[in-house]
Structures are given as structure tokens and as C-alpha cells.
Amino acid sequence: MSEKRVPGKSFLDFFVIFIISFIPSIFFIKTGFIGDDYCWIFQSKNALSVGNIFLTLTEPSPYSYFRPLSSFLFTVYYYIAGNNVILYRILILLLHSINSVLIYKIILYLGYQRNIALITSVLFGVLAVHSEVIASISCFNILVSSIYLSLIIIFYIKNKKSYGYIILSVLIFISLFIRESNLLILPMLLVISNKLGNKDIKKLFFYSGIPILIFMIFRFFWEIELKDPIVYERTDAFFEHFSIFKLFYTIPHYIINTLIPVKFLLSILGEDIFAYLKKSFVTPQKNIFTFLILVTIVIISSVFVVYYFYKKAGKEIYFPLILFISGLIIYIPLYHTSERFIYYNSFALCLLISVIFSKSRKVLSKILLVIFIVLHIAGLTSGVSRWQSATIYFSDVHEKLNKVLINYPETRYVMIKDFTTGYQGVEIIADENLNKAYSLFYPNEKPKEFNIVKDTVGILKKTDIILVYDKNGKNFKVE
């Protein structure tokens, strides 16, 4: 396929992509801060309170991740927006729309026709699987890093100079300080290079591999310097939750969840059923029968879908499918799955769908494409009420904790038992965001360090008080 551009149509395409990407997501505009959002706000507020906006460049990002540039950029925006949630929502929607436009440019530069690039970008803008990234302000770093990765890919495709590889090396090194998982740019660039056929793969591997290796060495020593290195804690959690079955399940899971608005369809069956199925996956050892049925259905469905695509487009499905998987490499063995892991590389499956629909000029094919887009818009917007309810739930939890802890003003270390960290299928509460949010909600009280005992990450060595969650009364009681 050769790249085909129609003069005067680019602006119209950008406008269509921007509007379609922006409108479905605007329903999230009134969704408040939730969960990990408070971790980013807490860090930014602390940096500004001491009058040093550059402090975020030298300390760990929330959850001890090493994302100094993301933390710095968020702090800069926090200086402007403060606690105005609407301004953060507008920023998230703009970043998402910009991502969609850049995807359009990448598809064109890869040599695909304009209609395929347009459909791909529109699909990317409305995918139901993007609801988590759009709903969570804490996903700011994912949106920023995605824009940066697109610019790297565009630079690589257009580069004709030998010294361009040195610039590419620098760009990749910088990207790792935005988000460490950006090292996935290497396998994605290798797949793209293979498709283009006119690039030096050995040079690419060398000049891309060096900055990644330097960063990993730097990150290792930085991790060692931490008083409480998160790498060790997450390793323990990994082996506790790891299941060999998930290695065979992860890729089919992401393929199906990207192509089909699964959460939306399951929510029609009821939130209780959805919550049960999700729990079966998170803890397969406790729900092995349900988990095996779930895995079987997903794997068979994904094989059928891929076979159907192959029958329709033949070998043309190889590039987008392999590109999608290349952006998943580091996530495949993880003990949990998350929509945010596939935000960026989901454009590859959007490209696959676009190629399939472009093969047919029948009216029915166009109608099916419209239905497919509408279904995803419905899936994306259906998550609004769920996230808004989760926001209210998150605030309510802190109010109930404060009602108990206000009677114990000197208490610092709080253990919580029998508590559910998820709400309507949304996992929103963890030790760190509970700590940070409580400090922001009640700044005049002594800071608390909460420990939800079902978590293996960050178990407190000291406990001043133990609270038990009464599910019937929906309150916390002192044990």
C-alpha cells in the first residue's frame, strides 16, 4: 500500500478526529479526583509548599516509580490548576485527542491510505478500553508518554540522515524519564522497521538499546538507594499472585478487551456478575473452575477473531497484530492486567480493524463499522456513572475513617481488615492513595499510614490500631 494524501483534506481529518475523540470523553468532565489522583496531587502540593518545583525531579513518583519528568510536568500544571478538577479533565481530554491525531499521522507515514488512517484514529479515540486512562487523572503520565512515543516513531520513519540515530538514542533516553515502560518503544520500532524495509535494523537495535541499558543500570542503583525499594515489594507480590495460566491468557485477554467493549456488555448482566468474574481472574487459585471457563472462552474467541481477520485480509494482519503484541511484551507475565497497559499500542488493533473494513466496499460493511464505533462510544460513556460513583465511595471511605480516628488523635499506624478496595469493578483503593488522600482531606490531623491487610505491598511493621470494616453497617469499627 502506498501513502495517499488528498490536498486540503488533512485539516478536515484532524478536525473530525479531534471532535470524535473529545466528545465521548467529555462525559467524564464532572468526575472528581479518585484513588491515585491524590498521590500525584500530594507530591505536587508538597513540592510547591517548600517553594521548590524541581523537587519532583529528584524524588520518587507515586508508588516509588521513577518518572521524574512526569512528576515535574504534573507539578507545573498543578501550580496552574490547583484543585480545580475541571481543568485537569480538560487537560486529559486534550491529550487524548492529540494522541488520536498523531496516530493518524503515523498510519499515513507507514504508507496506508488516508481512509484507513482516518478510521484508525477515530477508533482509537473512542475505544471503550480507554475509559480507565480518561477517567483517571493519575494516567496523565500515560497520555504524555504516548504523545512523546508517537513523535519518536514519526521522527524515526521520516529520518533519512545517519546522525538521526544519535538523536533517536537521546529521544528514547528522555522518554524513559517520562515513564519507564517506554522501553517498549524498542520492540515496536523493530516491528515498524521491518515493515518499512528501508531501515537499518542493526543500527536501530544498537542506538535504541544503549539508552535503555544505561537507564536500567541507573534505575537499579537509584532503586538501591531508596530506604524502602519498591522493586523488592512488587517482586514478592508478583510471586504471590502469579499464575502460569495467565501466561496463556494475557494476549487473548487484551485482544478481546480492545476489540470488544467487554465491561459494557458484562454490566448489562449486572454489576455483581461483573465483579465476580473480575475476582475470579484476580485470584484464580480461589476460583479455579470459573477462571478456567473464562480463560477458555477468551482464548477460543481470540483465535476465532484472528482467523476471521486472516480470511478477510490475509498476511496484511501480521504487521498490526505483531505491533500490538510488541507493545505488550513486559506486561505479559504480570500478575494482573489493566486497561492502561494497552492505551498506546491499541492503535495497532484499530489499524487492523480499519484494514478489514477497507477490504469491502459494500454498504453493509460501512453500517457495521458505524455500529462498531457506536458500540465503543456506548462502552466508553457507560463507565462514567461507575467512575463517578467510585469517586463518591472513595470520599465516603475517608469520612467514615475520620469519624473513628478522630477519637484517637495520636494514632499513626492503622491496620484495616475485611475491607473491599474495589467498587463496581473499579479497583480504586490502595495503601498509598489512602494515606495521601487522608492527609489532603484532613491536613490539620496527624498523618496516618494505613495498611489494608489483604495487600502484601507495604505491610506495616507497626500497628497502633486495627479497624474492621462492617459490610452490613458499612462502617469501620475498632477491633
Instruction: Render pLDDT for 349-394 as a digit per residue (tens, 0 to 9).
Output: 999 999 998 887 778 888 888 888 888 888 888 777 777 778 888 8
Chain-centroid distance of CA 50 in Å reads 31
**Residues composing the chain:** 479
Q: What is the pLDDT of residue 364?
A: 81
Express each pLDDT in 329-340 by its tens digit: 877 766 567 788
Express each pLDDT in 196-245 by its tens digit: 887 888 888 898 889 989 988 887 777 666 554 444 444 444 444 455 55
E strand or H helix that includes residue 306: helix 288-313
- From residue 80, alpha-carbon distances to 66, 76, 218, 338, 351 in Å are 24, 7, 32, 30, 37
Measured distance CA(210)–CA(21) in Å, rounded: 36
Question: Are residues 83 and 41 in contact, defined by beta-carbon separation less than 8 angstroms?
Answer: yes
Q: What is the pLDDT of residue 168?
A: 92
Enumerate residue ranges in the chain where pLDDT < 50. 1-4, 228-241, 455-458
Q: What is the pLDDT of residue 353?
A: 93
For residue 403 the three cell numbers come to: 469519624
Question: Are residues 223 and 237 in contact, defined by beta-carbon separation less than 8 angstroms?
Answer: no
Q: What is the pLDDT of residue 236?
A: 44
Q: What is the pLDDT of residue 225?
A: 63
Q: What is the pLDDT of residue 106?
A: 95
Q: What is the pLDDT of residue 12?
A: 86
Chain-centroid distance of CA 186 in Å reads 19
Measured distance CA(106)–CA(153) in Å, rounded: 7
Measured distance CA(451)–CA(468) in Å, rounded: 12
Three-class SS state of 287: coil
Chain-centroid distance of CA 385 in Å reads 19
E strand or H helix that includes residue 422: strand 422-423
Measured distance CA(216)–CA(224) in Å, rounded: 12
Domain ranges of the chain: 10-387, 388-478
Question: Are residues 398 and 41 in contact, defined by beta-carbon separation less than 8 angstroms?
Answer: no
Measured distance CA(297)–CA(205) in Å, rounded: 38
> Where does residue 414 fall: left (phi above 0), alpha (psi -120 to 50 degrees), or beta otherwise?
beta
